[in-house]
Amino acid sequence: MDNSNVELITKMVLEAVEKKNAAQSGEGFLVPIGVSARHIHLTQEHVEILFGEGYHLTKFKELMGGQFASNEKVTIVGLKLRAIENVRVLGPVRKNTQVEISATDAISLGVKAPIRESGNIAGSAPIAIIGPKGAVYLNEGCIVAKRHIHMAPKDAMAAGVHDGDIVSVKADNERGTIFNNVQIRVDDSFTLEMHIDTDEANAAQIKSGDTVRIVSC
């Protein structure tokens, strides 16, 4: 191994140690918060059942990773026929329909929605979805989203983390809340942001745009 490679490896090791020490000392890596309200992802088949044959979602607001908040909204109904109206649909369409709610929403609807990573809906709660043109009943598909941090690769490198890692973060406000079991999700299309639901935000007195810091990896 030549001297240049030795120097490079030494530099990388020192940077990794420095990042770890910074996190342990209370500095940590700062991450902005995005509070995620209840929402739904639909397949094209379900879009057409709910809104009409040949219908396509229309864009209301751009989100990260090529996603968007659509103008379309639906009503979701739990097993006890309790409903929540005006649940926004996010696009583009997906291969599976998924409803993401808070734990408080689950209680209101009377459903046992598990905490899951987005896309992991096997064995999750059943839910009904009502649109202006029709209705869909899902045997599974309703979850409480697992808290997570979106990162671009450069952010992950700066924070010393990798896709799939589980970290803890702290909110330095009056509540001083520490969130454990926060999953790192890395993709070139992501903008740095931690997503928590409205229950978590309210309990910790956090709003969108506030920051937290990674305190352990």
Q: Is residue 123 part of a domain?
A: yes
How far is CA 60 from each of CA 70, 84, 92, 131, rounded to the nearest angstrom?
A: 5, 21, 12, 18
Is 18 a member of any domain?
A: no
Q: Is residue 12 part of a domain?
A: no
Return the pLDDT at 70.
98
d(CA 175, CA 90): 31
Is residue 185 domain-shared with residue 134, that is, in the same domain?
no
Q: In which domain, by residue range, is 102 found?
A: 38-145
- Picking from 145, 179, 208, the residue at the C-terminal end of a domain is 145
Position 181 scores a pLDDT of 96
pLDDT tens string 39-63: 999 999 999 999 999 999 999 999 9
Cβ within 8 Å of residue 105, ≥6 positions away: 38, 84, 113
Last residue of a domain, one of 107, 129, 145: 145
pLDDT of residue 4: 57
Asked if residue 11 is part of any domain, the answer here is no
User: Is 209 inside any structural domain?
Assistant: yes
Pseudo-torsion of CA 166, 171, 176, 182, nearest 10°? -20
In a domain, 55, yes or no: yes
| Residues 154, 127 share a domain | no
DSSP string, 156-206: HHHHT--TT-EEEEE--SSS--EEEEEEEEE-TT--SEEEEEHHHHHHHT-
Are 68 and 59 within 8 A, CB to CB? yes
- Are both 100 and 151 inside the same structural domain? no
Q: In this structure, are 52 and 141 located in the same domain? A: yes
Domain assignment present for 6: no
Per DSSP, the three-state class of 57 is coil
pLDDT of residue 96: 97
Residues 178, 119 within the same domain: no
Domain boundary among 96, 111, 145: 145
The domain that holds 203 is classified in CATH as 2.40.40.20
Q: What is the pLDDT of residue 6?
A: 54
**66 shares its domain with 76:** yes
Cα Rg of the chain (Å, integer): 20
Residue 10 — φ and ψ, nearest 5°?
Answer: -60, -40
Phi, psi of 44 (to 5 degrees): -65, -35
Residues 191 and 132 in one domain: no
* 133 and 54 in a common domain: yes
Residues 91 and 182 in one domain: no
CA angle 164, 192, 56 (to 5 degrees): 90
Tens of pLDDT, residue by residue, the chain (217 residues) = 555 555 665 556 555 545 554 444 446 899 999 999 999 999 999 999 999 999 999 999 999 888 999 999 999 999 888 999 999 999 999 999 999 999 999 999 999 999 999 999 999 999 999 999 999 999 999 999 999 999 999 999 999 999 999 999 999 999 999 999 999 999 999 999 999 999 999 999 999 999 999 998 7
| Cβ neighbours for 119, distance < 8 A, ≥ 6 positions apart | 96, 98
The pLDDT, as a whole number, for residue 28 is: 85
Number of domains in the chain: 2
141 and 44 part of one domain: yes
Does 182 lie in the same domain as 92?
A: no
Query: Is the same domain home to 85 and 159?
Result: no
Find, among 32, 28, 31, the residue nearest to 217 by Cα.
Answer: 28
